[in-house]
Each structure stands twice: as C-alpha cells, then as structure tokens.
Chains A and B, each alone.
Chain A
Amino acid sequence: MAQVEMVGIAKHFGGVKALRNVSFAAEAGEIHALMGENGAGKSTLMKTLSGAYLRDAGEIKLKGQVTDIQSPRQALDMGVTVIYQELVIAPHLSVAENIFIDHLSTGGFFVKRSHIEAEARKVLAEIGFTDIDVSRPAGELSIAYQQVVEICKALTRNSSVLVLDEPTAVLTSHETEKLFELLFQLRDKGVCIIYVSHRLEEIFHICTRATILKDGETVGTVNIADITQHDLINMMVGRELSDLFPDRSVEIGAPVLEVEGLNAGVMVQDVGFTLYAGEVLGFAGLVGAGRTETMRAIFGADARESGRIVLKGREISPSSPKEAIRDGIGLLPEDRKAQGVLLEMSVRVNGALRPDSPYESKVGLIDRAAEGRGIQALVEQLAVKTASIESNVGDLSGGNQQKVALMKWVDMGSDVLIVDEPTRGVDVGAKIEIYNVINDLAAKGVGVIVVSSEMTELIGVCDRVLVMREGHIAGELTGDDIREDKMIALAMGLN
C-alpha cells in the first residue's frame, strides 16, 4: 500500500489551471523523484499535499486512508513535512529551539532549555551530525546545516513523508553527499521521501522511481533503473531533445578583460585571468570558493583591496555597479529573486532597469510607446513567455524570470557579461534558450563569463574553464580537458 497516494488532483489560480488531473503515489522506504519543467506543477502539487494550498478536486490518501488536508498544521500532524527551497528557520533562535519550534514547551509553560538541547543533541547524533552546536543561533549555520536542522524538525515530529524541494541547489558537492547519506538512512528507516529536483545526475544516483509532470498533468511514473537520462528529459519536455547544449563555432578575438592580482577579502586572493572577445569562460569550484565574490569585486559591487582590471586595453577601477556598467561590464546575479528581478513589477520595468534609459527624452520623460516596442522586441528575441509586457515578473516561471533579468544586458551591449548561475532552478527548455542567448552574445564578440555549479553546463557551454578553490584560481582547463573529474580534482585540491 502506498504511503502517499494522490488521485486526480486539480488546482487553479484565477484562470490558470496549475494542476489538471495529477495522480501520484510513493511508497514507504523509497526516494521518489518528482520531475518536470518549471511551471509543470511540482511545487503546486506538493503544496496541496502540505496543506499550503487547498486543492479544487481530487483525493489524498495516506497509507490508504482518505484524508482531508486543509492546513499545513493538519498535514504536519498527519506526518507530512515539506522542506522548501527557501528555508524557514528562525535565524536568531538556537538550533535546538528551531528543531522544537512547534513544541517548545512540552512540559509546561516555560521552555526548558537544557531539556530541548539534550533532545536536539540526541536527534542530531542519531543522524550523525554531532558537530552541530545546538545552542548556536541557527542563522550562523551554513545553508546545508540549516537544511539538516529542518530535517531534524521533521524527525522530531515522526514524519512518515518527507518532501524536499530542490534541496541541493545551494549545497556544495561534499554537503550534497552528506545530505544523500542522511536521506538513505531515513529511507532505510521506512520514511517515504519525495524528492523534487531538476538535477538528473542526483536523481539517477539516489532515487528508485520518478514521476514526471508536464503542464499540470502526470506524464508517467518510471523505474530509474529502466530509463536513460535522455529519455527522462524527453518525457519532461515532451519533444525530442537532440542536444541540450547548442553547437557553437567559436571565433576568439582579442583580450577584452584582463584581471591581475585581484584581492578582496579572504574569498578573493590574487586572482588573475584574461577573457577574450567571443569567448565563453567558465568558472568552476565549490560553493564558497570565491567565484561569486570575484565577480562582484570586478563589477564594483564589493570593495577591492588591490588589483588591476583592464577592459579593452584601458585600465578601469569601478567602485560601484553603476561605474562598471558605464565601463562596459554587465553582471547577472546568482540569486534571481533576491538580486536579479523585481518580482512585483512588470516585464517592462524590469527590462528597462538600467542607469540610463534609452527611451528617455531630453526633458526626462519616458516615451512609453517606444519603450513598449523596444521591450516587446526583447521579449521576442529572448523568447520570454509572458502574457504581456505589463505582466508582473513574479507571475512568470523561473526560466522566464531569468530571461527577463537578461533582457537589459542583451539590450545594453556590454563588452563583458558575467552570468552567475544562469540556469539555477530553470527548467530544461528554458536552459537551452538561455544557452542560446549566451552563444549569440559571444558570437557578437562579447566576452562571457559563466559561473556555475553544474559541471555539465560548464562542459557544454564553455570554451575554457577556470577552477577556483579557497579564493585562488586552482587551474585552467581547455578543450577535451574540460571534464568533471578534472574540475572536481582541482576544486578539491587533489593534485
């Protein structure tokens, strides 16, 4: 009997049918992948399971029992815990207090600190994380450990169903391995784990079965052992996908960006490299290796201590993003929602979000009609799927949000464009379109830097890859040497 069974689930928001008729079942003691492009309905489905959304139709059964989940509280009481991408820890409370957040005062009115700390230590020891200090504020932990705290919360509630939404998006590969070990442990204890992810490698590594959603409907459930990555992608996008990475013929030109002896705090130490016109240069490394910090220092978003930056033969020293943009450098930030786009504002406003609007007249008025045409042209050029340019960016899928964030950089025509994790949380279809944008820019002679934690992506799109480790550039890979094993070796310092 399935631990979780969802039959004929439907849910609409206004006129949009997010889920039409989804059925899904997962067993106790399995790790079941839930896959699909962004907007396919994965998160909505899990939110109907967790009680965050009320379903319009359909049945949810837990262990064969029909249940009527009406609120997150009810779902928790029935043993369903969902760990969202955006963690919900209370940063100023201690680890122990976070773990027992919803039953802090079990014994009476007062919180017994020593008691919950002892209990928290016990739970952590059970899953092998004895190095977490339970009295520390949870906000001081790394994201990976915050996730462990979330999982502990679920354990103390004796959850029989654990849903993880893109848990590894923010983890280093070492942390990811530790998380997987923990998941295997829980699986062996009979917990039903539903794993929502885009990352094929991970799914093939840890999951037994996968259910694929597309456009709010179930495409099917497959045994991972019986299917190839290629076929799985085809099920997700519903079309033949000959190659995830578009071919590109490269014509590498003169140096556009030369960086020498760049220092900025502990994360950026003596970094130097040269980027050529038309080149796509990858930056690999573990999370925390200093890649993002290097880029922010070059872009003027963080202060530099020393170093020379030469752009097209001219030395520059941007002290703010504004100056960097004026000099000809663009940066697509790593965290789309927090740094890349204005979610509550329109595609129009986001597309024109730049220091100097080209649609501004001499008296300072914006020509809205001309701007509308310009933005519409960009929407078509980048194949942004939006109802209109007046739609809020928050209503678009992750991939389309990312394309909106790219719009202004494409329009501004910088000499150098840095894209930091350009396809994080983006579905396969939109990924290809983003790679196409990168290739088009490079073909026009722009030097593109791609910072990514997805090694397949770096292999697929880059002409050359620099690997960073602990604030230094650990090595350079070109041609056939751009391989996962070499990147990992350099990133971890195993030479």
Chain B
Amino acid sequence: MENKTLGQKASYIFFEYNALVMLVVLVVASSFLSEAFLSTQNITNLLRQLIPLLLVSIGMLLVILTGGIDLAVGSVAAVGGVVLVMVMNGNADGGAFWLILSVLAAAGGGALLGAVTGAFVAFFRMAPFVASLALMTIARGIAYIISNGQPQRFDREQEAALILRTFGSKSAPIIDLAWPIVFGALVIAFFYVLMRYTAYGRLTVATGSNETAIRLAGIPVARYKLLAYAACGALSAIAGVVVASRSGVATPASGVALELDAIAACVIGGALLSGGKGTVVNTVIGVLVLGLIGNIMNLLSVPAYPQQVIKGAIIILAVLLQGVGRKDARV
C-alpha cells in the first residue's frame, strides 16, 4: 500500500471517489463555461430546485440498498402534494398546527403507499419492479381521483398556507439560506447518521447484501424491506409538499419520470442496483451531478432535446468509470 506511485494513488482516488471527481470537474468546467454559474442566485436556485429530487433519491437509495426498486415515487409525490393542499384547505382558519397536521397527512399517505409496495415485496415475495410498477399507476390514479383531476391551489387567506409559502420562497434568518435548502441539509444529516450509526441503517444494507445470511443471523428481513419502502414513500410525498410550497399549486399530473432521475442519482453515486452498496453522501453527489448537468446546459442555452441526450450520455459515463476501476479485481 505504502509504495504506490503517485499515478497509482491518483487512479485509486479517481476510481474510488469517481462521483465526487465528476462533480468537481463539472463545477470547475461550469464556472469556466458560464460567468453566471457561480453567482449566489444561480447556486441557490439550483439547490432549491434539487431538494425534491434529493428527498426522493434518498428514499430510492434505501430501497435500492435492500436490492429493490421503487418506480412509484413520482406518483406518490403527486399524491403527497394533492393531499397536502386538500387537507390544508379543509380548515380555513388553520394555523401552524394545522399545517403540521397536513404535512403529516401527506407524509403518512406516502408512507402507506410505500408500505403497500413493501408488503408485496417483503411478504408476498413479489418482484420489486412489478409491485412498484403497479403502485405507480395506482398512486397516480389516486392523485387524480382525490383531486378530481384538477390542480389544487392553496387558500390565499389561510395562515397555514402563508407559513408554507414563506417556507417555499424565503430564506432562514441568520444563515441566510433558502428554507428548503436548510430542510434538505437536515434530511441529509438525519439519513447520514441513520445509515452510518444505527443498526437499522446497517441492517438495511445487509438485507441487500445477503438476505439469507441475515435471516439466519436472526434478523427479521421483511421488516427492514417494508420500512425502506415506507420511508421512500414518505420522503416522496414530502418532496411533493416541497414542490407545492414553492409553486403554490399541487398538480395530480406532476412528478412524472421522477423515479428515473432518482435512480440515475443513486447509480451515479455508485449504488448497486442489486443491493448492498451505496451511501447517502454519494447519492447526494449524484443528485448534484444530475442537477449541474441540467443547470449548465440551461445557462449555455442548449436546447431541451439535446440536453436529454447529453444527460443520458453522462449517466453512462459515470457508470463506466465505476466499472473500469473494478475490472481487474473480478472476472
């Protein structure tokens, strides 16, 4: 180990931290390509826009770690937004307490939908792809049914709505950061500690690594799977809440293809789709990489259609880089 050449060290760092390397390269390249990139306003906007994807990606990571996949996150986010607005509007005099209740209702609904997927996977041994595919259309249908197919707007006079809009558009005092960014940072910190310092986090990863072994170690596998899907559902619904807080409207058609971005973020961050490998920090990096690609192309006025091609190409590049580093180790 000690007598590695500089080149070997560099290549080790490159492959071990390739998501981070990619992020740094993107940031540096972006700041050269566009003067507007490093402006506070651009960075704040970028981060704020990424918070919903961040929440969903962390939820997706939990599920992917158990060896599963959750395709329903976009639909569940739509349900979350719609439920939030409808519950809030149910009480014209609602204040802060009513707001908390409404957010909990949205998160709870999301957790429930996630738990349904999780139950089919954990107890009925259904393939996660299939179970969550079914829930994806079911949740979308629910979003349309409860909203009657109409975008749901907040009651402008209501105190709860005002508080929520403040959260969505204003900055926190003292640290002068947009509230959603502060919230996102707290969520990251929470899940970082959860995954690294608790038995729950460790056993979630272990479930995806070797299910049989951990069952024989006396650990209830089904519980950890179910919890991962439920957490993913709750986080997705909260992502819907964050979107609504910004735009002031919850649309039952929103969040389409969100699952693909979330999966992409996890994969760019080095998570294995077969489970057992992936970290919160790397997933956050994956989200940032995805966001940066979109941001810089917007700043450079790249048209939308080529943007999609470039984004896809970068995902492939990221995964290729991960593979190259391991090529020698296993055949």
B207-234 near A? 1/0 per residue, CB < 8 Å: 0011011111111100000000000000
Query: Is A325 in contact with chain B by the CB < 8 A criterion?
Result: yes
Q: Which residues from chain B contact A322 at a C-beta distance below 8 Å?
A: 218-220
B213 touches A342 (CB 8 A): yes
A354 touches B209 (CB 8 A): no
Among B198, B217, B276, B328, point to the contact of A353 (Cβ < 8 A). B217
A364 touches B198 (CB 8 A): yes
Stretch with Cβ within 8 A of B (4 or more), from A332-340, A431-439, A479-487: A332-340
Q: List 29 A-B contacts (CB under 8 A).
A: A14-B329, A15-B4, A52-B331, A53-B331, A299-B216, A320-B218, A320-B220, A321-B217, A325-B218, A326-B218, A338-B210, A338-B212, A341-B213, A342-B209, A342-B213, A342-B214, A343-B210, A349-B205, A349-B206, A353-B213, A353-B214, A354-B217, A355-B217, A357-B199, A360-B199, A364-B200, A365-B193, A365-B198, A366-B202
Query: Is B313 in contact with chain A by the CB < 8 A criterion?
Result: no
Query: Is A109 in contact with chain B by the CB < 8 A criterion?
Result: no
Q: Which residues from chain B contact A14 at a C-beta distance below 8 Å?
A: 328-329
Query: Is A126 in contact with chain B by the CB < 8 A criterion?
Result: no
Query: Is A324 in contact with chain B by the CB < 8 A criterion?
Result: yes
A408 touches B217 (CB 8 A): yes
Q: Nearest-CB distance from A399 to chain B (Å)?
A: 18
A344 touches B213 (CB 8 A): no
B329 touches A13 (CB 8 A): yes
Q: Which residues from chain B contact A299 at a C-beta distance below 8 Å?
A: 216
How distant is the Cα of A59 from the Cα of B4 in the complex, in angstroms? 28
B:174-222 near A, CB below 8 Å: 193, 197-200, 202, 205-206, 209-210, 212-220
A:365-416 near B, CB below 8 Å: 365-366, 368, 408
Q: Which residues from chain B contact A333 at a C-beta distance below 8 Å?
A: 213, 216
Q: Nearest-CB distance from A347 to chain B (Å)?
A: 13
Query: Is B1 in contact with chain A by the CB < 8 A criterion?
Result: yes
Q: Which residues from chain A contact B276 at a C-beta distance below 8 Å?
A: 342, 344-345
Inter-chain contact total with CB atoms closer than 8 Å: 84
How distant is the Cα of A357 from the Cα of B1 in the complex, in angstroms? 33
Query: Is B246 in contact with chain A by the CB < 8 A criterion?
Result: no
How distant is the Cα of A234 from the Cα of B206 in the complex, in angstroms? 39
Query: Is B277 in contact with chain A by the CB < 8 A criterion?
Result: yes
A339 touches B218 (CB 8 A): no
Query: Is A301 in contact with chain B by the CB < 8 A criterion?
Result: yes
Instruction: Output the nearest chain A residue to B199 by Cβ-Cβ distance.
Output: A357
How distant is the Cα of A184 from the Cα of B205 in the complex, in angstroms? 48
A355 touches B216 (CB 8 A): no
Q: Which residues from chain B contact A213 at a C-beta distance below 8 Å?
A: none
Query: Is A164 in contact with chain B by the CB < 8 A criterion?
Result: no
How distant is the Cα of A295 from the Cα of B263 in the complex, in angstroms? 41
Query: Is A187 in contact with chain B by the CB < 8 A criterion?
Result: no
Q: Nearest-CB distance from B190 to chain A (Å)?
A: 12
Q: Nearest-CB distance from A37 to chain B (Å)?
A: 22
Instruction: Output the nearest chain A residue to B2 by Cβ-Cβ distance.
Output: A15
Given contacts A339-B213, A353-B214, 11 further A-B contacts (CB under 8 A): A15-B4, A53-B331, A322-B220, A325-B217, A342-B210, A344-B209, A345-B205, A354-B219, A357-B199, A365-B198, A366-B198
Q: Which residues from chain A contact B4 at a C-beta distance below 8 Å?
A: 15
Q: Which residues from chain A contact B212 at a C-beta distance below 8 Å?
A: 338-339
Q: Which residues from chain A contact B202 at a C-beta distance below 8 Å?
A: 349, 352, 366
Among B215, B219, B328, point to the contact of A301 (Cβ < 8 A). B215
B328 touches A13 (CB 8 A): yes
Given A13-B329, A344-B209, A349-B202, also A339-B216 (CB < 8 A): yes
A364 touches B199 (CB 8 A): yes
B206 touches A342 (CB 8 A): yes
Among B1, B198, B206, B217, point to the contact of A15 (Cβ < 8 A). B1
Query: Is A331 in contact with chain B by the CB < 8 A criterion?
Result: yes
Q: Nearest-CB distance from B11 to chain A (Å)?
A: 11
How distant is the Cα of A368 from the Cα of B196 in the complex, in angstroms? 9
Q: Which residues from chain A contact B193 at a C-beta distance below 8 Å?
A: 365
Q: Which residues from chain B contact A324 at a C-beta distance below 8 Å?
A: 218
Q: Which residues from chain A contact B198 at a C-beta distance below 8 Å?
A: 360, 364-366
Query: Is A47 in contact with chain B by the CB < 8 A criterion?
Result: yes
Q: Nearest-CB distance from A366 to chain B (Å)?
A: 5
Among B1, B206, B210, B216, point to the contact of A321 (Cβ < 8 A). B216
Q: Nearest-CB distance from A120 to chain B (Å)?
A: 29
Given A14-B329, A15-B1, A364-B199, also A340-B213 (CB < 8 A): yes
Q: Nearest-CB distance from B133 to chain A (Å)?
A: 24
Q: Which residues from chain A contact B277 at a C-beta distance below 8 Å?
A: 344
Instruction: Output the nearest chain A residue to B205 by Cβ-Cβ distance.
Output: A345
A91-112 near B? 1/0 per residue, CB < 8 Å: 0000000000000000000000
B331 touches A366 (CB 8 A): no
B95-132 near A? 1/0 per residue, CB < 8 Å: 00000000000000000000000000000000000000
Q: Nearest-CB distance from A250 to chain B (Å)?
A: 29
Instruction: Output the nearest chain A residue to B1 by Cβ-Cβ distance.
Output: A15
